[in-house]
Amino acid sequence: MLTDAMLRDSIGVDGVGHDHRVTRGRLEAFSDGVIAIIITIMVLELVPPHGSDVQDLLPLAPIFVAYVLSFANLAIYWNNHHHLLQAAKTVSGRVLWSNMLLLFWLSLVPFATAWMGENEFAAFPVALYGLILIMAAVSYGFLVRALIAAPGQTSTLAEALGDDFKGRISPLLYGLAIPISFIAPLVAFGIYWFVAAIWIVPDRRIEQRIAT
């Protein structure tokens, strides 16, 4: 266990020759590991049915649809996390803990996915799913701010983040979906898909703009 002095050193406060890329690299590796495990253990909820007919798969349909959405959401988080850290020069203790908070909320996604899928999109499970997505989005915001505030960070990161329209609109849409869950849960579920779509689609748009 470490003294405060050592911690201060290794989080890049006084810059006495520590290699920040090592810290960033291991933070990325740990986050990759956790996200890879979360995205994969969700499939354990897809328990194979006892029968071997195609209609035996039908009861799994809502669980499968929920799984696809959560896979997409975690893939989006991995993508954004990867790009965010790539633009960062230094990492601080606050960054490490903000990242842990983000991973904590993401670790609850498999639970919320299973509860939502097994109850065929009932009101409370759909609302809980939205709540966990809001908490993850807020934690991601903490991580962004911690990275910008990290000692020695260049202005490149803040500039690169810019306006961040999608980052601001996503938790608002999730917040809208939660009350809707209690009236029309499938509409709320549709909003979650819509938010996932606005994060995935633009990548292709950029590619096409470049190709022309």
Identify residues 55-74 at the interface with its own copies (CB under 8 A).
56-57, 68, 71
Q: Which helix (H) or strand (E) holds 65?
A: helix 61-87
Q: Check binding of 84 to its own copies (CB under 8 A).
A: yes
Query: Which member of 15, 61, 166, 172 binds its own copies (CB under 8 A)?
Result: 166
Rg (CA), the chain: 20
Are 153 and 90 in contact, with CB atoms under 8 Å apart? yes
Q: Check binding of 79 to its own copies (CB under 8 A).
A: yes
Q: Token digits for 25?
A: 């690299």
Binding mask 171-210 for its own copies (x = CB under 8 A): ----------------------------xx-xxx-xx--x
Cα atoms found within 13 Å of the Cα of residue 190, Cβ hemisphere only:
5
Q: Check binding of 46 to its own copies (CB under 8 A).
A: yes
**Touching its own copies, residues 98-117 (CB under 8 A):** 100, 103-104, 107-108, 110-111, 114-115
Q: Taking contact as CB under 8 A, which single stretch among the options 90-98, 173-181, 186-194 is the one that binds its own copies?
A: 90-98
Q: Taking contact as CB under 8 A, which single stretch among the options 88-96, 172-180, 186-194 is the one that binds its own copies?
A: 88-96
Are 98 and 136 in contact, with CB atoms under 8 Å apart? no
- How far apart (Å, rounded) are the C-alpha atoms in residues 91 and 5? 17
Nearer to its own copies, 10 or 175 (CB): 10
φ, ψ of residue 15 to 5 degrees: the values are 55, 45
